[in-house]
Amino acid sequence: MQPSIQPVWNKGLESFSESLTGNPVLGWVIASAFPLVFVALFALVAVYAERKISAFMQDRLGPMEVGKWGLLQTIADILKLIQKEDIVPKAADKFIFVIGPIIIFVSSFAAYAVLPFSSAFAGSSLNVGIFYAISITALEVVGILACGWGSNNKWALYGAVRAAAQIVSYEIPAGLAVLVGVMMAGTLDMQKIVMAQGGDAGILNFFVFQSPFAWLAFVIYFIASLAECNRAPFDLPEADSELVAGFFTEYGGMKFAFIFLAEYGNMFAVSVILSVLFLGGWQSPFPNVGGVMLHDWTSGPVWGIGWIMIKSLSFVFVQIWLRWTLPRLRVDQLMYLCWKVLTPFAFVAVLGTAVWELYFRQSSVSVLVCWIIGGLAVLFGFYKMFIAKGETPKSPKIIIAQR
Amino acid sequence: MSEYFKTIGDGVTTVLGGMKITWEHMINAANRKGTAGIADENYFNQIEGLATLQYPSEVIPTPSFARYRLHNEADDCIACDQCARACPVNCITIDSFKVTPDDLEEAGSTADGTKKKLWLPVFDIDMAKCMYCGLCTYPCPTECITMTPVHDFSEFDRSNFIYYFGNMTPEAEAEKREKLAKFELEKAAEKARVAAAPKPAVAASTATAVAPAAGAKMSPMMAAKLAAQKKAEGAAATAATDEVASAAAPQPVAPAANQAEATADAAKDAGAAKPLPKLSPMMAKLAAAKAAGGGAAAAPVAKVVEPTPSEPAPLESVPQPEAEKTQPENQDDDNSEPPAASMPASGVSTDVDVVTKPADEVKPAADNSAAKTVATVPVTSKPKPVTLEIRKVEPKQTEVKMPAVRVPEIRLPEIKVENILSGVTTLVTGALYVGAGLAMALTLGLFKAITTPSEPRRADTDPTK
Ligand code: SF4
Ligand code: SF4
């Protein structure tokens, strides 16, 4: 179906960079600069979006002063951060203190090397791509520990220790959920995982619609990835209300900016991984119906970038949405959720997927069953969110009307 | 086990319920709650939408009866002092003096047609002291002192809270005061001459007895006032000499029966001088009237002042060390003349010197000049030529400052070498970070190039087939 692009994704970085410049080394620099610029721009926009969305959810206006609707607010913030004095506390372990943010940022950014942004652009079509991505991202915990320990500050140390416990724990359900996608694709190469979800059926070829267990794995991975990004409701390592700012209490200026950048980079990276594994990555969701070749018309390298952006950014939105909805978990609740809920269900998903792949995947009846289950789950969710009346607190309108 | 699934179910439904709430609020962000104030009918119906108001540009209107910053429309103020007296915390300071009859036209009238009979050089409101009770606004006969809706007027310096509403320039004030003093002197001289004609008598002994008493009585009150009021204005002594003399002087001529009362009045006059511009002239007049009507007691005044009309009143500013100057003079000439001359002259100016001065200005004079000079008074009994001295008021130091819009200071950050250096270092650090990221990616590329030979894809997972 995509014969023209096959040579590109098959050879990954080299062919891409060579086609850019004809020179492999210079091409690598350019190819790796793309995601870097992208992460920086994304953080710029995402911070603004997060502030605006959170404001709207809390009936506020959010930034309004810098530029129209405060559009230039994050640029002003960056300028402020750049101007700030680069302080290293006297009592800090200087080397560890300085190396911490570097490890955090590099490990979060390094994941971008294998993320397939389009059929024609993936930094590297590594044959162990997804494995590399989740392991290099997990390296972040080393940086967080370095920050917390090097700061020589009790809040920072608490935050770092919490982060270590949390990230290591959530690696397990996250890894198992990833395994579900890998089992369905039969490969660790992220580009090939995306290819495996293409086809005339469009959206129905996405893994999440191919197996009821993929739904489970999808939800588990999303929750676990929240915890790995230290996003609310799993923001115990930062816990502003308890730990000042957690592991980056002592950081300011550019070092803080890099920790921040890493957080947003990480948010986007896990969203891309999620959409690659379960939602078809850069594949178009439209099916080919008869002579109307919607799928083919909306496929291609540039379309691909659009699709994966739409998918990932909507996950980023849900991450923001959740952050401003849910209160922070207690440490014991965090561990309960990980070990007693997510991990057993992840095992169920892996086992179920194995059985499903062996016996049911090929039959259209079973896929139909899967769609029905999935559709029911979606309907239930919508019902709960938009229709159901119940324990949700009464709106002030009612209270005032009774006066 | 069912408990376990129930917990999970609860978790899912409550999370979804929460997400529903936040989603609804986000959708409602298209609406604003608006700026309907508490007085608005719609106030309690503003439920949905963003609650934030962008304060300086959007404000909920303040109710018409709100009590915020005070304003005095000085052109409508008749300086009646009622607001200052109503104020529980004494934050209004008024200084006023009479308008001479020929100036009544110039003084004009207020918006409601009341004729203005007092100049208003000083009308200060200390908004730092003000407690916004609004009591000052009720008694105002011309409704010129009002509460405005301005409530956002914080300052970096407390002294900026003193708002000056007085509507005279220092020059104009000095001119008008001089004019008034001259006028009053002439008037008093005229009156004295009329009064003196039938009664040439001397009551020196009464005066002797009373004068020190007056001095003694006054000083404690003044001292108390001094403690209360710490601000001394520039030309204190000059004004003070006149003032004390004026306060003290009527006593010698008053009849014994009225003496105590008169003294009390005078002391009150001098002591409470500052906030009672309207009252003080009246009291002074009262005292003067008593003095004049006191039969024989009035004589010295008559005697002394008699020569006045013949002599042109020299316009000279009284020098600061006047007390010292007059004193030796008294001693030189012994009981014969000038002390008497200077004393009643300023005594006459009681009536003149309607104007009030902060009491502390009065005090030093009370100590040295008044008591002593008064003591010398009784000796005199002969008519003597009088030198009339007209006090020249020195221009006040306070500028007329209108409490209009105050532009906040804009402070630019200092440009320091350290700031620049730290900026450069952070930029370099940033560059290093970026470099590290790039290096990582590069290494990865190299790693990939070295380790992965092109390998055939697994046929069974190739969706392109
Ligand atoms: S509002 Fe009250 S405290 Fe303020 S000046 Fe008027 S009377 Fe005095
Ligand atoms: S009460 Fe009114 S008219 Fe009288 S002094 Fe005060 S502001 Fe002026």
The pair of structure tokens assigned to A233 is 């409701």
Strand runs labelled E in A64-194:
116-118, 121-122
- Look at strands B70-72 and B92-98 and give their pairing: unpaired
Q: In what order do the strands lie in the sheet with B162-164?
A: B92-98, B118-126, B162-164
Site to substitute for ligand 2 among B71, B72, B75, B78, most atoms within 8 A of C-beta:
B78
Report the sign of the C-alpha dihedral through residues B337, B339, B342, B347, in that order.
negative
Cβ–ligand 2 contact at B258 (below 6 Å):
no
Residue B385: strand, helix, or coil: coil
Task: Kindly identify the ligand whose nearest atom is closest to the C-alpha of B116.
Answer: 2
Q: Which residues pair with B347 in a beta bridge?
A: none
A178 in Cβ contact with A138 (< 8 Å):
no
The DSSP letter of residue A69 is: G
What pLDDT is attached to residue A102? 87
Ligand 1 atom with the shortest distance to the CA of B90? 8
Q: What is the pLDDT of residue B407?
A: 55
pLDDT in tens, B335-381: 444 443 334 444 344 344 434 444 444 444 444 444 444 444 444 44
B283 vs B56: CA distance, rounded Å: 51
Give the residues surrounding ligand 1 with Cβ less than 6 Å away. Answer: B 70, 86-89, 91-92, 125, 130-136
Contact status, residue B422 vs residue A84, Cβ threshold 8 Å: yes
* pLDDT score of A190: 82
Query: Does residue B350 contact residue B250 with C-beta atoms inside 8 Å?
Result: yes
Identify the helix (H) or strand (E) that includes residue A141.
helix A140-151
Chain A residue numbers touching B454 (CB-CB < 8 A): 10-11
**Residues of chain B with C-beta less than 8 angstroms from the C-beta of A86:** 422, 425-426, 429
Q: Residue A260 has which token pair?
A: 């921040």
CA pair distance B246, B418, nearest whole angstrom: 66
Are the C-beta atoms of residues B313 and B390 closer than 8 Å to each other? yes
- Shortest-distance atom of ligand 1 to CA B147: 1
Write down the ipTM of this complex.
0.75
B291: Cβ contacts below 8 Å, ≥ 6 apart: B250, B253, B254, B262, B297, B298, B301
Cα–Cα distance for residue pair B104/B81, rounded to 1 Å:
19
User: DSSP class of residue B161?
Assistant: G
The tens digit of pLDDT for each residue in A4-28 reads 444 444 455 555 555 665 666 666 6
Q: Give the Cα separation of A262 and A244 in Å (integer).
A: 19
Parts of chain B with a pLDDT under 70: 1, 34-37, 39, 46-47, 198-415, 419, 441-465
- Give, in degrees to the nearest 5, the angle at Cα B296 between B292 and B300: 70
Give the Å distances, CA to CA, from A334 to A220, A244, B326, B354: 14, 20, 95, 83
The candidate with the shortest Cα–Cα distance to A347, out of A210, A167, A168, A220, is: A220
Q: Which long-range contacts (CB under 8 A, 24 or more apart) does A372-379 make?
A: A373/A212, A373/A215, A374/A208, A374/A209, A374/A212, A374/A215, A377/A215
Both tokens of B197, joined, read 């004609």
Structure-block tokens of residue A113? 């090397």
Place of tokens 């209004």: B92
Which pLDDT value is given to residue B447?
Answer: 62
The answer to whether B297 and B255 are in contact (CB under 8 A) is yes
Instruction: Please name the residues in contact with A169: beta carbons below 8 A apart, sequence gap of 6 or more.
Output: A227, A334, A335, A338, A339
Q: Is the CB of B77 under 6 A from ligand 2?
A: yes
Q: What is the pLDDT of residue A395?
A: 47
| pLDDT of B200 | 52
Task: Enter the DSSP assignment of B32.
Answer: B
Phi, psi torsion values for A86, nearest 5 degrees:
-90, 95
pLDDT, averaged per 10 consecutive residues of chain A (403 residues), comes to: 44 55 65 80 88 86 80 84 81 84 87 78 74 86 88 86 87 89 84 78 75 84 87 80 81 83 88 88 75 69 81 89 87 86 88 78 67 76 65 46 43
Q: Which residues are CB-neighbours of B328 under 8 A, at least 6 positions away?
A: none
Q: In Å, how far from its chain's centre is CA B381?
A: 46
What is the pTM assigned to this prediction? 0.58
Q: Atom 8 (ligand 2): residue with closest C-alpha?
A: B77
